[in-house]
Amino acid sequence: MTTANQPIQRLHLLLLVALLTALGGCKPETDGALGDPFDKVQGMLGTWELSSFIQQDLNSPVKETRDLSSFFIDGISTPIQLTFNEDRTYAVALEMGKNYFGEGGFWGFDDDLYPTFLELYTVNDTLSYNLGGMVREFDENMRIEYRRECGSAATNVYTFEFNRING
C-alpha cells in the first residue's frame, strides 16, 4: 500500500461512516406498547385433535420426511385427542394408532413464562415434547415434536400437528 492512497481510503471510509449514520438516523420512531404477554398455560387449555403426523429420519443423508398421518387418521375413527385442563391434568382419547402420550396424568412446561418443552407426567413416566411454537388462547393449531433417541443421539423426530376442537 502506498502512502498516496491512504488519504483517499480515509475519505472513502469517512463517507461510508457518514452515510451509514445518516441512514441509521432515518428510522421511524416506534409507537405503542407491546401489551401484556400471553398466558401460555391458558393457551394450552382445551381439546386438541391430531391433524397431521410427520416422521423425519435423522439418520438418512437427506433427512427424509414421511407423512404417516394415515396411521392415526382414516376418516372414520376419531384421531388422537389430547385434553389439557386448567388443574394441570390431561387426558388422551385414542381409537387407532400408537399412543405416544401416555394414559393421562399431569402436564406442565419446563418454564411457564418461556416454555420450550411440554412435559406430560404419567404414573410410570415423564414424557417431554419440543413445542413447535407457543400456543395462545386464540390459536387454532398446535405443533409438538417428539425426538426418539437411541442412547444419547436422536434418530427420528415425530411432528404432531393438532387442531383445537374446543377450548
Distance CA 43, CA 81 (A): 16
Domain ranges of the chain: 40-166
Q: In this predicted model, what pLDDT tens digit does every residue of 66-125 receive, in sequence order?
A: 999 998 888 898 899 999 999 999 999 999 889 999 999 999 999 888 899 999 999 888
Helices and strands: H and E segment counts in the chain: 2, 9
- pLDDT exceeding 70 applies to what percent of the chain? 86
* CA angle (146, 150, 155) in 5-degree steps: 55
Q: Judge if pTM exceeds 0.85.
A: no
| Mean pLDDT across 18-37 | 66
pLDDT above 90 (res 129): yes
pLDDT at position 136 is 85
Torsion angle, alpha carbons of 25, 27, 30, 31, to 10: 90
CATH 3.40.190.10 fits 40-166, yes or no: no
Tell me the sheet residues that pair with 55: 66, 158
